[in-house]
Structures are given as C-alpha cells and as structure tokens.
Amino acid sequence: MRISEFLSPEAVVADLRARDKQEILRELSAALAQAHPSLKGERLVEVLREREKLGSTGIGEGVAIPHGKLSGLTQLVAAFGVSRQGVDFEAIDGKSTHLFFALVAPENSAGVHLKALARISRLFKNPRFRASILEAPTAEAIHALIVQEDARP
C-alpha cells in the first residue's frame, strides 16, 4: 500500500490556520471534503472527534495522525496539513504538533486502516523528512515529498 493511493494533492494544506485541536480537525475535514465531494465535512469532523475522545492521536515529534472510520465510505481517504506555528494537540511528548495526517477508513476495514497508520507512522519517524516537509513552500511540494519518501524501499 502506498500513501499516494489514498492521499490526493487536493487534500494537502500547506499552511493550516487553526490555532487549536478542534479547529485543526475542522480544517482537515474541510480539505478532505473538498478533495472528495461526496463526503460531508461535518460528518468527518464528528468521526475524528470521536476517536480523539479515546485519547490523543498526537504521536509526538510534532506529528499527529487523527483517524476514524466512516460508514458508507468505500475507500481509504486522507488529508495532510502543516501548521507552521504549531498547535497543542495533547501529544504524548507534550510538544507542539506541526504535521497532521488525517485518515478516514471504511467502517469494516481494520486491516487497511492499520496498515495505513503503520505506514504513515514509519514515514514520519525520520527527522530529516519531517524537516523537509516543514520547509516545503506549497501543497504540491509537500505532496511530492510524501510520495517520494513513501516510494523508498
């Protein structure tokens, strides 16, 4: 599974404006809904908020992977956003979060969902890669970096 299979360039936000966790979830959901017009932004926000109630998806090192499952969805979809100023996302290391990878999976897709989470997590463990994403000036450049890094063996 490659990230390019579920992250379209239209769902990448180079400069998130949100200042808190709830606004981040709303902005990422809006990006997802814009890239996938059949999805409703408000429903996506609800799905991501429900998962956050179980515990923060801020995995540390400036990265969060908010995720959830949505009934009626036929394929895995994602949005990615960069917060230049950083947001308190209640990450496990207590640091500000700058890189957000929102993932929404079909309701009955545990295997695909978990594979995608693992792949994203592995990718963003690399500090040089995280730095290059923060330095990228546009959504297109960010998407290209993610696709390029994900293609490495």
Catalytic residue among 36, 67, 113, 143: 67
Between the alpha carbon of residue 125 and those of residues 17, 131, 138, the distances in Å are 24, 11, 22
**36 catalytically annotated:** no
- Strands 77-87 vs 63-64: parallel, antiparallel or unpaired: unpaired
* Helices 41-54, 21-35: inter-axial angle, 10-degree rounding: 140
DSSP-derived secondary structure letter, 3: G
Amino acid at 77: V
Give catalytic residue positions. Answer: 67
